[in-house]
Every structure is written in structure tokens, then in C-alpha cells.
Amino acid sequence: MRKTDSGIAVTPTVQVIERMFALMDVLASREEAISLKEISEKTGLHPSTTHRLLNDLATGRFVDRPQPGSYRLGMRLLELGNLVKSRLNVRDAALVPMRELHKLTQQPVNLSMRQGDEIVYIERTYSERSGMQVVRAIGGRAPLHLTSVGKLFLAADDPQRVRAYATRTGLSGHTKNSLTQLPALERELSKVRQYGNAHDNEELELGVRCMAAGIYDDQGTLVAGLSISAPAERLEEEWLPKLQATAREISTTLGYQPDSAR
């Protein structure tokens, strides 16, 4: 058993890991390189212990030494971070939270992504008890302007791109509630930007309403949308905070931070 600087004996592996975490947290708190003395002071570790651990981390390229006696986080962390990022999958991150949300609402929960001028359903959770007559199959598609998730993506576009979308698609409707005129769609998208969520009020299917919240990646980019579908009379606005919380949970798993630049 080794002892800490204060003389308290702990398990060596836990001691070393905790100290390394402390060192890396200090290095992460500053953009520029930090001196050995300052790192030692901030972590409360003896300078000789700090020096030894930093050298070990530098050997593994977790820490760089741009100049003698100064340290910063190393490129190995970027390599590992990119590896983790490449293995992250929106569907995998969303599946368990979607199931939990479905248990709460007992209504279909859908995960959708944008592909061109449409959204594509890539995952869903539902049960026969929902009373839904229409359940979108995985792989199904729908126009952006007729769906709650699609509106999230359109709201993330600049006005010129929205107008180009309207020109390309003609804003064709599926029901009497469909938004088929550009001014009406623009007003709707303004509300989406204001409130951070979107609704489909029987615009894609009569008798079916939806609400949606966005899922963002580590760059703050909208990559998918999470939505709840229900018979028009059963959709409850009280579900919205839980839907948004679930979308944030999935986004966090993908590396999103609320202050990410978008």
C-alpha cells in the first residue's frame, strides 16, 4: 500500500487514477500550457509526484510538454475522442431513453433524421394500446413541412434555404390542416425557433398529432428529432417537458453541451 501526500493509505490503483484525473482536469481548465508549479498548487500534489505522473502521461501522449516545465493536454486524447465519436450512433443512444418515454406516455415515440427534403423514420417504440391507426414504419419517409421533426430541421435553415425548399416541393399538402403556403410555414417556423419544439397538428394524417424536440451532436448540430405521436384527442402538452428532457439526454450521450456553438 502506498500513501498519499497526507500519509493516508489507499489502494494504489485508485490513488493513481484519481491523481491523473485531477491533473488532467487542471490542464483542461486552461487553453495554454501550465507550469509544473501551478499544476502542483492547484491539485495539492507534491511537485515530485506531479512531475512523475505528468511524465507518465506524456509517455502515453495524453500530455504534451511544449517547453521544459510546462504541460498541456496531448493529442492522444483527441485521437481517442474522435474514435469514441465515430462509434457513437444516434439510434443506439436513443433506444433506451425512447423506451422509457414510451412507458410514460403509452404512445408511439419516433426517432427521425433528415434526408434531403424528407425525414426518415429510423427507430420507433409503440404498443397496440396506443390506439394509433397509422404507425410510421422504420424506413418510412414524409415531407419536412408536414411533420414535427421536419419543421425542426427547416427552422434550423436560413430563410433563403426555406424558400428554396418551398419552391422545390411546392409545399404540397396531405390534409386540410397542411401548411401549403410559404408565409404560413414561415410563421410556424418562427414559433419553432422561439420555443425550441415543433408540432404537427393533423397535417400529415388526419386524427394524428405529434410533438418533437431536437437531438444535437457534439458540434451543436441538429442531427435527429424525437417525436411523440398520438390520436389527436390524446396528445397531452404535459408530455412536452419529458420529451425535451429525453432529447437532451440523448444529445448529451452524443457529446452535446448546451453552450455548444450552433
pLDDT at 11: 45
pLDDT at 258: 79
Does the pLDDT of residue 154 top 90, yes or no? yes
Does the pLDDT of residue 187 top 70, yes or no? yes
Distance in angstroms (rounded) separating the CA atoms of residues 40 and 46: 6
Nearest to 58 by CA among 41, 86, 39: 39
Indicate which CATH number applies to the domain containing 174. 3.30.450.40
Q: 171-194 b/e with 16+ CB inside 10 Å = b?
A: bebeeebbbbeeeebbebbeebee
Of all residues in the chain, what percent carry a pLDDT higher than 90?
65
Same domain, yes or no, for 78 and 132? no
Same domain, yes or no, for 52 and 69? yes
259 three-state secondary structure: coil
Over residues 106-121, the mean pLDDT reads 93
Same domain, yes or no, for 68 and 41? yes
Nearest to 94 by CA among 244, 256, 215: 215
pLDDT at 127: 74
pLDDT at 139: 84
Digit-coded pLDDT (tens) for 132-141: 555 567 888 8
pLDDT at 94: 94
pLDDT at 4: 46
The rounded Cα 83 to chain-centroid distance in angstroms is 17
Number of domains in the chain: 2
Nearest to 243 by CA among 58, 100, 121, 79: 100
> Which residue segment(s) compose the domain that 54 sits in?
2-84
Digit-coded pLDDT (tens) for 243-261: 999 999 999 999 898 764 4
Average pLDDT, the chain: 87
Residue 75 domain-assigned (yes or no): yes
CB 137 within 8 Å of CB 165:
no
Does the pLDDT of residue 200 top 50, yes or no? yes
Same domain, yes or no, for 135 and 235? yes
Domain final position from 41, 65, 84: 84
**Cell numbers at residue 104, please?**
410514460
Same domain, yes or no, for 48 and 111? no
For residue 165, name the pLDDT band (cuts at 50, 70, 90): very high
Digit-coded pLDDT (tens) for 27-50: 988 889 999 999 999 999 999 999
Domain final position from 26, 54, 84: 84
Cα atoms found within 13 Å of the Cα of residue 182, Cβ hemisphere only: 12
Same domain, yes or no, for 79 and 100? no
**Cell numbers at residue 226, please?**
424525437
- Those residues with Cβ within 8 angstroms of residue 150's Cβ, 6 or more apart along the chain or in another chain: 112, 114, 118, 119, 142, 143, 144, 225
pLDDT at 137: 75
CB 28 within 8 Å of CB 73:
yes
Domain final position from 29, 57, 84: 84
Distance in angstroms (rounded) separating the CA atoms of residues 55 and 48: 11
Indicate which CATH number applies to the domain containing 27. 1.10.10.10
